[in-house]
Amino acid sequence: MSSITRVRLKPPYLLLIGAETDPTFAKTAQGIVQWCPDKVAGQLRFEGSQVDLGVSDMSLTEAVEAGCGSLVLGVAPVGGAVPESWWEVIEQAARAGLDIVSGLHLRLRDRPGLAEVAEAAGAQLVDVRVPPAKLPVGNGKPRTGRRILTVGPDCAIGKKYTALALDHALREAGEKSTYRATGQTGIMIAGEGIPIDSVVADFISGAAELLSPDNDPDHFDVIEGQGSIFHPGYSGVALGLLHGSQPDGFVVCHDPLRKTVSGWPHYSLPPLAEVIEAHIRMGRRTSPDIRCVGVSVNTSKLPADERAAYLDKLAEETGLPCVDPLIDGCNGIVEHLLDTLGRSHSAH
């Protein structure tokens, strides 16, 4: 895959926390620390900061000395507007040659003068919400390697977390696996990816094809799903991603207590069986043997003593491994995957 066609980030990261950060918006930075601690050099906090990611505090000077590659804005400022104190640090970092990585809605190059400073220092301004410029139309041709896509009946139901946890579990099991990021947080964690919901409509499945290219026959790409084919706002993204990913299998993310689409209360969620059946029906257009390989359940709102029984019952109903990745990890799904698709030669 050429560098033209995907976002790529330069580790290690200095995570900008500042002082005006809304702790509820620090999820991206927390995800980076959780899933790729080896890419994190430290956090840059201002006096009075309410957020602590539990990594080393580091000044910009220390970060430069430590060989940091990027200053990462993985938090959102209170109220949305970036405070001047942040811009000062951003400009200093760019002047010192650090790439600036932003997941904010604003574009870094719209900040007057910043692009010039960065260019003079050889630093990149990376807006992870901005897709690569030259994407192809999907060609639908079969690819080598194994691909697993996380899907669901709604947004924000665990597709990113499940993909990260499944990739982690596959690698722990000695399998070759790569997490493929399709959203801003995932891209910051993976260090590369394509923000699939920001590409032009004609290129959704083409972008998905680029994201999970030909690979070793026993290599897994675990692709972060976006939206839902049932979503009244985002179904186009989800179907293009499903067709372009050509997944051998998909994992359905399920929240037993969610009854309606988040933010679309006039839409009820389809039953799990319908979610599975619809993805098979639509997905087999580009992946004839597509199957559901597991259910990832958010059991956090169930009483603690009912979780195991709930998962057991669901597993019986569906005939599939049902796990809560936060509690059980994804080993159950990994075992099922390897039983179904075969184990790699390198792992055994």
Smallest gap from residue 336 Cβ to a second copy (A)? 28
Smallest gap from residue 4 Cβ to a second copy (A)? 19
Nearer to a second copy, 137 or 273 (CB): 137
Spatial CA neighbour of 69 closest among 8, 128, 13: 13
Nearer to a second copy, 198 or 215 (CB): 198
Distance of alpha carbon 152 from alpha carbon 160, whole angstroms: 11
Smallest gap from residue 262 Cβ to a second copy (A)? 13
Nearer to a second copy, 135 or 322 (CB): 135
Nearer to a second copy, 280 or 302 (CB): 280
Answer yes or no: are the C-beta atoms of 347 and 169 closer than 8 Å: no
Nearer to a second copy, 117 or 229 (CB): 229
Nearer to a second copy, 178 or 287 (CB): 287
Which residues contact a second copy by CB under 8 A? 137-141, 196-202, 204-206, 229-230, 232-241, 243, 264, 266-267, 278, 281-282, 285-286
Distance of alpha carbon 83 from alpha carbon 6, whole angstroms: 29
Q: Which DSSP letter does residue 83 get? A: P
Smallest gap from residue 230 Cβ to a second copy (A)? 6
Spatial CA neighbour of 276 closest among 258, 291, 260, 262: 291
Count other Cβ atoms within 10 Å, centred on residue 342: 11
Per the DSSP assignment, residues forming a β-bridge with 193 are: 7
Per the DSSP assignment, residues forming a β-bridge with 125 are: 100
Smallest gap from residue 287 Cβ to a second copy (A)? 10
Q: Going by C-beta distance under 8 Å and a sequence separation of 6 or more, which residues neighbour residue 142?
A: 246
Residues listed for the chain: 348
Sign of the Cα pseudo-torsion (135, 136, 137, 138, in order): negative
Smallest gap from residue 101 Cβ to a second copy (A)? 21
DSSP 94-154: HHTT-EEEE-SSS-GGGSTTHHHHHHHHT--EEETTSPPS--PPP-----SSEEEEEE-SS
Smallest gap from residue 285 Cβ to a second copy (A)? 6
Nearer to a second copy, 54 or 288 (CB): 288
